[in-house]
Amino acid sequence: MSPESASTTSEGHSSVSATEIAHFSALAKDWWNPKGAMRPLHAMNPLRTEWVQRHTLPLAQANPGPLSLLDIGCGAGLASEAYAKLGFETQGIDASVEAIRAAKAHLEQHPLPVGAATLSYRAGSAEDLVNEGARYDVVNALEVIEHVNDPQAFLKMLAELTRPGGMVAVSTMNRTPRSFVMAKLGAEYILRMLPVGTHDWKKFIKPAELAQMGRNAGLRMTDIAGMSFIPPKWRETRDTGINYIAIFTRD
């Protein structure tokens, strides 16, 4: 529901605006507060990261050693730390210098347990990685694509960063009347779960649209699931009417 700060710069065609980056940079110091502005992400994080781990298991079984994972728009590292603990060699990247500073500080204060995979952060854009020729087994963009200027170009970039046979995980929100009422009006204005202005409902993406954009980018959607808050926690469901997560394979 509340996005990790998007990773692209204001210069790129598929990037978020400087306003978006500034909005989430202002929240960086409070990112790790489970009762703060990012509390929906804290609550949703186990479902998202464990869902991705489960769906990338066949890839892990077919490859020696741990999988490399790029967490685009990692913010202050909620998902990145979880992925490292799950065994992924994780690279987090975000355009917000403040968010990356918070991510590094949290990791320094709370080192990963013995046996966890490596985790590194960098401030910058996914375009930087494309230009460097970087490739990963898994590319992860959670609550990011609804904040970029050109979702199609952004998804193409995710594909370019993925090794052939690798996988791309995307979570976002469906553009439905229910999501407008619940995720925009309810979460931001009524319940005050999120800062006002966090979401632009017109940028929400329907699953069929995401699947088509994936095909256009050379990605094949292999599974999709709804993410629903059913007290006391977020659960995987068949209801994709508000929040959902999808996995793609790059053939």
Which residue numbers belong to the known binding site for S-adenosyl-L-methionine?
48, 73, 94, 142
Length of the chain, in residues:
251
Which residue numbers belong to the known binding site?
48, 73, 94, 142
Q: Distance between CA 10 and CA 30 in Å, rounded?
A: 24
Q: In this structure, what DSSP letter does residue 16 have? A: P
Q: Using an 8 Å Cβ cutoff, are 182 and 239 in contact? A: no
Alpha carbon 165 to its chain centroid, in Å, reads 20
Q: Using an 8 Å Cβ cutoff, are 20 and 154 in contact? A: no
| Beta strands per DSSP E along 81-135 | 89-94, 119-123
Q: Report residue 250 as tokens.
A: 């790059």
Reference 2, options 154, 193, 180, 139; nearest CA is 193
Q: Distance between CA 174 and CA 5 in Å, rounded?
A: 19
Q: Report residue 144 as tokens.
A: 């990011």
